[in-house]
Amino acid sequence: MNLEKVIFGAFVILSFTLNFGFFVGEIDNPQHHHELELAATLVVNLIAMTLKFGDRTHIGAIHLATSIVAVIQLLAASVVWFWAAQVTKLPTGGEVMATVVSLSGGALVANLISVTLMIGETLRRTR
């Protein structure tokens, strides 16, 4: 068993599951989406992205691209939430929360693509 691949797979799957956990719930209800869960999702996605830098294959480049997209989406969601709550002092429900959750949904799609690629690559190697 290759420990590097285990760690890589664990972070890819953790990125997806944390993102899914944040995304689920009423889109405009801040009680269904916790800011620390978004922060954890962002941190784990950043770690997963750094783990993908070592792979020099074409599939590795696509893995890295999906991670970059997820991190950009999650950073944008974090900035929107921070800006609304701390700078403009807007209520975080309604339109603001819908924007944050929508951006995390884009990251969720990127993470789903990454997990799908990882599963496909794993199935291809075992045959």
The radius of gyration computed from the CA coordinates of the chain, to the nearest angstrom, equals 16
Contact 67/52 with Cβ under 8 angstroms?
Answer: yes
The token pair at 115 is 């997990």
Q: Report the candidate in 13, 25, 15, 14 with the shortest Cα–Cα distance to residue 102.
A: 25
Give per-residue pLDDT as tens, 5-44.
899 999 999 999 999 999 999 998 888 999 999 999 999 9
Enclosing H/E stretch for 120: helix 95-126
Give per-residue pLDDT as tens, 76-97.
999 999 999 889 988 877 899 9
Q: pTM to 2 decimals?
A: 0.89
Residues ≥6 apart with Cβ < 8 Å to 41: 15, 18, 19, 21, 22, 74, 104, 107
